[in-house]
Structures are given as structure tokens and as C-alpha cells.
Amino acid sequence: MENQTNVDELSYREASTELEHIIRNLESGDMELEASLKSYTRGVELLRSLRGRLADAEQKVSVLMADIDGNDVLQPADAASTEDKPSFL
């Protein structure tokens, strides 16, 4: 409950893990009512965020390249082509 990070800053896995944790705690039923309400609110927030991410998921691809100084930097790259799907969809 403490030091909650902003939901959008969590990775999908972190958010998902936290949600599962919250649900288990709620299901165990030995939480204070206030705490459970707080948990529930957080859970709904996480759920909304996760749903949103699933709905708008876009593949992010980058390539690790050495720059002029020889340092590795991430360069955005094209996502996989969608050619395997019919174009009319």
C-alpha cells in the first residue's frame, strides 16, 4: 500500500503482479475495511491501466547500435510488418 508508484510507470508485469497481490489480499478477507477499499481502488486503477495497454498494445522495437564514440545506444526500429494479415481488416 505504501509508496505506491504511479500505475502508468509500472511495467505490465509489475502492474499485473500488484493486481494479483491485491486480489489475493482482498480474497483472504482479513484486511481492514478502509485498507480493502483503498486496495480495491488501486486494483481498479491497475485493471483499467492493464486493459488499456492490452487494447492499445503496439509493438516497440529498437536496435542496439554503437554510436560514433562506440557507446551502445538504442535506435527505434520498425515493428514487425502486418503483411501476414489481410489488408482490408
Partner 1 sequence: MEGWNLTGTSSGSFIDFANAMADSEAAGQSAAGKDTDALSVSQAVEIAANALDAIPQLTVIGEVTGFRGPNARSGHCYFQIKDDSSAVDCKIWRGVYLKRAFDLRDGLQVQFTGSFDLYKPTGRMSFIARSFSLAGEGLLRQQVAALAEKLRREGLMDETRKRHVPVFCNRVAVVTSLSGAVIDDVKRTLRRRNPLVELICVGAKVQGEGAPAELIEALRRAAAIEPAPDCILLVRGGGSFEDLMTFNDECLARAVASCPVPVVTGIGHEPDTSICDMVSDRRCSTPTAAAESVAPALADLVEVTSTRERRLANAMNVRLAAAQDALGNDLQRVQRAMDARLERIRLTLEAAAARPCLTDPTVIVDRRRVELSQTAERLDAAIEHAHKRFAQQLELVTPRLRGATAGFSKKRHALELSTSQLRHVGASLLNAPHSQLASSAAALDALSPLKVLARGYSIAYAPTGVLTSIADARPDDEVRIALADGNVRARVTSVEAADNLNVDAADPAN
Whichever of 3 and 54 has its CB closer to partner 1, that residue is 54
Give min distance, CB of 13 to partner 1, in A: 5
Cα separation, 48 vs 6, in Å, equals 13
Whichever of 1 and 12 has its CB closer to partner 1, that residue is 12
User: Which residue spans within the chain are E strands per DSSP?
Assistant: 61-66, 72-77
Whichever of 3 and 11 has its CB closer to partner 1, that residue is 11
Q: Which residue has the cell 491501466?
A: 49
Give min distance, CB of 89 to partner 1, in A: 13
Give the footprint of partner 1 on this chain (CB under 8 A). Answer: 11-13, 16, 19-20, 22-23, 26-27, 29, 31, 33, 36-37, 40, 43-44, 47, 50-51, 53-54, 57-64, 72, 74, 77, 79-82, 84
Long-range contacts from 37-44, C-beta under 8 angstroms, 24+ separation: 38/1, 39/1, 42/1, 42/4, 42/18, 43/19
